[in-house]
Amino acid sequence: MKIWLKLWPEVKAYKKQFIQVLVLGVVTSSFKLAIPPLTNFLFTAWQNREPSREVWLLPPLLGLMWVFSCIARYFHLYIMKYTAEKISVNQRRQLMDKYLSLNLSFFQEIERGTGGLISRMLNDIIIIKSGIDKIADVLREPLLIIGLFSYLVYLDWKLTLFLIVASPIVVVVLKNLARSIRKYAHRNQETMEDLTRTLKESLDGTKVVQSFLLEGELHRKFNVQADNYLQTRREIIAREELGGPLSEALTAFFLIGLFEFVSYQVFHSHLTVANFMTFIFAMGLLQDAVRRLQDAYIRVQQAATGMERLEGILQSQPEVVEPEKPIIFPENWQTIEFRNVTFSYADEPVLKRLNLTIRRSEVVAIVGSSGSGKSTIANLMQRFFDPQEGEVLIDGVPISQMRLADLRRHIALVTQDVFLFNDSIERNIQLGNLEKNSADIRKAAKLANADSFIQQTPLGYQTSVGDFGSRISGGEKQRISIARAILKDAPILILDEATSALDSESELEVQKGLNQLLKGRTAIVIAHRLSTIAKADRIIVLKKGEIVEEGDHSQLLERRGEYFKFHEMQHG
């Protein structure tokens, strides 16, 4: 019942299909159940040497019933397996939706990283699907087992006693095996997560791996994890395959006593050979049904383990939640305010009671050493995180009371680590605003100073950028991301170290695009290179999560404080 309760949320949407599977299972089992009595009639006629018209008709009738049973079983399994595929695809959709809805904190804290999440999407759902496949056996075989067992009692209740004595032992053995398999199944799925994570890191970090000669280290790490995976698989396979031989071995011991008893019964005319042959035939069908049910029981146990792991993700709640009664983003807003904002990552404080007001159309630069809280301000602005204390407000309205999509629609982000999808240049720019057409895309590219290099690529705007934009240079990627931000046409702009990774020539080209992007927008510019922010309306200097200086470039140099120190370090 516990297993069914875990699987029920996934299967309840397909009740119609499961009813069809159940009906076809009943039909399949009914045809098989009719075979032993007819076989007994045939064996008795052979034993008594009594040819009749019915005897001659029985073999083709038996064959026909077996064929009908096979046809019903085909549709029975076809519907079940296709339904299991639909359930697994639905689970992948649910998991994808959940991944897209979770906050940055979830992905930062997940133990096995994105590789583990990919493993749950692929491997765990395959295991669940295998278990749901076996529900067909769970629905079909019990009816056959009950029917065959009843017929064996009808044939000879004394012989059936041997089966009754054997059953509790087999059940106890299977229960202990299933419990052991479930434990190792959980470990096995964790080791598969480790393998997937290492594979993903090796592929994503190819340049670093080759530059630092890490091929041997990753080879060793992958082999250790592969050995751990094999170890857990060995334990699972050993237990999976032990169930059949154990139950068959127990059956063999009981058969020894059974044959001794049968010999006595036959020699004293208490049992006919025809009845015994039918009994053995029916018992063979029963044993096959029990074996199938046993295998289904083990697979469904593994599926339940997979469901537990999936539920751990699907039941995760985002820390940043949508407001119950959202307030519309104020279109004619005039200020962005960080009011008494305190924020910590785990137990490490990053911002301490920060107060900052940014006026509309103002370009505010934020500088400071690493870990001073610069990027945290950008993350809070877009509600990737919520502050532990204080509020971020736009025209006095807390952004926590705005719908996330509405808030983020008004903010464009350009970062140092540009992410491009493995698609065409045109599509990557269009992702800034999917409603824009090709003409708008080209206009945005020209403003971003990107059109000239795009025209020189083999297919122009249809050229694929490769994984993470690997087929184009860093400066070109950055200009595509600026074109994407221009196309979005959001009133608030966040530039997070947008040019820090570029050489001087690339920076000059990118800066031309940024100048176009900044026109008429409110901008929060996070930068290490002070030369890129000299023209900012206001510069905020952060130190250990607090504002220590504020003013324009000339004013801060005259004060000879923290900003002056940064300037001296960069310019000698």
- Given a cut of 60, whether residue 252 has pLDDT beyond it is yes
- Show contacts of 162-170: CB within 8 Å, 24+ apart: 162/254, 162/257, 162/258, 162/261, 163/254, 163/283, 163/286, 165/254, 166/250, 166/251, 166/254, 169/250, 170/246, 170/247, 170/250, 170/290
Which pLDDT value is given to residue 258?
66
CB 458 within 8 Å of CB 488: no
Q: Which of 174-178, 339-343, 349-353 has the lowest mean pLDDT?
A: 174-178
Which pLDDT value is given to residue 486?
87
CB 487 within 8 Å of CB 425: no
CA–CA distance, 390 with 342 (Å, rounded to integer): 6
CA–CA distance, 265 with 272 (Å, rounded to integer): 8
Model confidence pLDDT, tens digit, residues 18-43: 888 889 988 888 888 888 877 777 77
Give 503-555 as a DSSP string.
-HHHHHHHHHHHHHHHTT-EEEEE-S-GGGSTT-SEEEEEETTEEEEEE-HHH
Model confidence pLDDT, tens digit, residues 257-295: 666 766 766 666 666 667 777 777 777 777 778 778 877
Which pLDDT value is given to residue 426?
93
- Given a cut of 90, whether residue 393 has pLDDT beyond it is yes
- Given a cut of 70, whether residue 47 has pLDDT beyond it is no
Q: Fill in the amino acid letter for 295.
A: D
Which pLDDT value is given to residue 268?
66
Which pLDDT value is given to residue 194?
81
CB 364 within 8 Å of CB 493: no
Model confidence pLDDT, tens digit, residues 194-240: 877 787 777 676 656 765 677 788 888 888 888 888 888 888 777 76
Q: Which CATH class is domain 15-314?
A: mainly alpha
| Residue 351 phi, psi (nearest 5) | -120, 140
Do you know the residue count of the chain? 572
Mean pLDDT for 136-152 is 83
Mean pLDDT for 331-347 is 89
**If DSSP codes are grouped into helix, strand and coil, which group holds residue 342?**
strand
Mean pLDDT for 114-124 is 77
Name which residue leads in pLDDT, 571 or 522: 522
CB 336 within 8 Å of CB 392: yes
CA–CA distance, 73 with 231 (Å, rounded to integer): 36
- Given a cut of 90, whether residue 154 has pLDDT beyond it is no
- CATH superfamily, region 335-571: P-loop containing nucleotide triphosphate hydrolases (3.40.50.300)
Which pLDDT value is given to residue 211?
58
Model confidence pLDDT, tens digit, residues 309-327: 787 788 888 788 889 899 9
Q: Which tokens in the block code for residue 571?
A: 């310019």
Share of the chain above pLDDT 90, in %: 15
- Given a cut of 60, whether residue 501 has pLDDT beyond it is no
Q: Which tokens in the block code for residue 450?
A: 């990107």
Ordered strands of the 411-415 beta sheet: 411-415, 492-496, 522-526, 363-368, 538-543, 546-551
Q: Tell the residue number behind the tokens 């393998």, with chain if given.
A: 195
Which pLDDT value is given to residue 114?
72
Which pLDDT value is given to residue 535?
83
- Given a cut of 70, whether residue 349 has pLDDT beyond it is yes
- Given a cut of 90, whether residue 126 has pLDDT beyond it is no
Q: How confident is the model at residue 48 (pLDDT cuts 50, 70, 90)?
A: low
**If DSSP codes are grouped into helix, strand and coil, which group holds residue 357?**
strand
Per DSSP, what are the bridge partners of residue 526?
Answer: 366, 496
- Given a cut of 70, whether residue 569 has pLDDT beyond it is yes
Q: How confident is the model at residue 250 (pLDDT cuts 50, 70, 90)?
A: low
Per DSSP, what are the bridge partners of residue 398?
Answer: 393
CA–CA distance, 189 with 54 (Å, rounded to integer): 57
Within 10 A of 549 (CB to CB), how many other CB atoms are there? 18
Name which residue leads in pLDDT, 2 or 366: 366
CA–CA distance, 463 with 442 (Å, rounded to integer): 14
Closest CA to 246 of 290, 284, 283: 290
Q: Which tokens in the block code for residue 472?
A: 């184009």
Which pLDDT value is given to residue 380?
92
Name which residue leads in pLDDT, 337 or 190: 337
Which pLDDT value is given to residue 298?
76
Mean pLDDT for 153-165 is 72
Model confidence pLDDT, tens digit, residues 414-464: 888 888 888 899 998 998 888 989 999 998 888 888 888 899 988 999 999
Most confident region among 29-38, 350-359, 366-375 by mean pLDDT: 350-359
Mean pLDDT for 55-74 is 82
Closest CA to 247 of 298, 210, 202: 298
Mean pLDDT for 525-536 is 79
Which pLDDT value is given to residue 39?
79
CA–CA distance, 27 with 20 (Å, rounded to integer): 11
Q: How confident is the model at residue 342 (pLDDT cuts 50, 70, 90)?
A: very high
Name which residue leads in pLDDT, 339 or 499: 339
Which pLDDT value is given to residue 364?
92
Q: Which tokens in the block code for residue 390?
A: 């204080």
Q: Domains of the chain: which residue ranges?
A: 15-314, 335-571
In whole numbers, what is the pLDDT of the chain averaged over residues? 81
Which pLDDT value is given to residue 65?
83
CB 300 within 8 Å of CB 138: yes
